[in-house]
Amino acid sequence: MNDYVIRHASCDDVDCIMRLLDCGRGIMRSDGNFNQWPVGKPSRESIEADVAAGCSYVVTKGDEAVGTFAFIPGPDVTYKRIYDGDWTDDALPYHVIHRLASTPAAHGIMDAVMSYCKSRCVSLRVDTHHDNRIMQHLLAKHGFTRCGIIYLLDGDPRIAYQWLG
């Protein structure tokens, strides 16, 4: 057991969350994903907005922050239209997981995050970049269905997934 604790992030955690996002970016780059999360994205402003909305979380082990994610109640404007497929269920209320990152040494973060989120809702949606093979593998492992393509507000395409409890 990894003994991870998940808690709401506070304003005091923003610098730490930004470092964790840098770690996540590094993990993606080491796996050949050079296009997702260019430097400056996710932005500090988006993290601060997540914290202010009560949707930002930190995963800790002991006194160390080893992961972060946003857990946001839907609807998400970018999920309103899906292309080349359909949502598994488009009627149930859902939550979205965004901005998931961890340190390279932290193992089982996705297991902890999924357990936390799945215990709080019956429908989850996630999107990821075409080059993010790690996330695609983890989503399949955790019972998500690949549903189609959504487009971010800046027009970038993402593979959309849904899990139903």
Confirm if 43 and 25 have CB atoms less than 8 A apart.
no
Question: Exposure of 117 by Cβ count < 10 A (0-12 exposed, 13-18 middle, 19+ buried)?
Answer: buried
pLDDT per position as a tens digit, 106-150: 999 999 999 999 999 999 999 999 999 999 999 999 999 999 999
Expressed as residue numbers, the domain containing 76 is: 5-164
CATH of the domain at 152: 3.40.630.30
According to the model, what pLDDT value does residue 46 have?
A: 97
| pLDDT-based confidence at residue 10 (cuts at 50, 70, 90) | very high
According to the model, what pLDDT value does residue 2 have?
A: 74
pTM of the model: 0.95
Residue 1 has pLDDT above 60, yes or no: no
| Beta pairing partners, 1 | none
According to the model, what pLDDT value does residue 160 have?
A: 98
pLDDT per position as a tens digit, 61-118: 999 999 999 999 999 999 999 999 999 999 999 999 999 999 999 999 999 999 999 9
Number of compact structural domains in the chain: 1
d(CA 66, CA 77): 29
Average model confidence (pLDDT) across the chain: 96
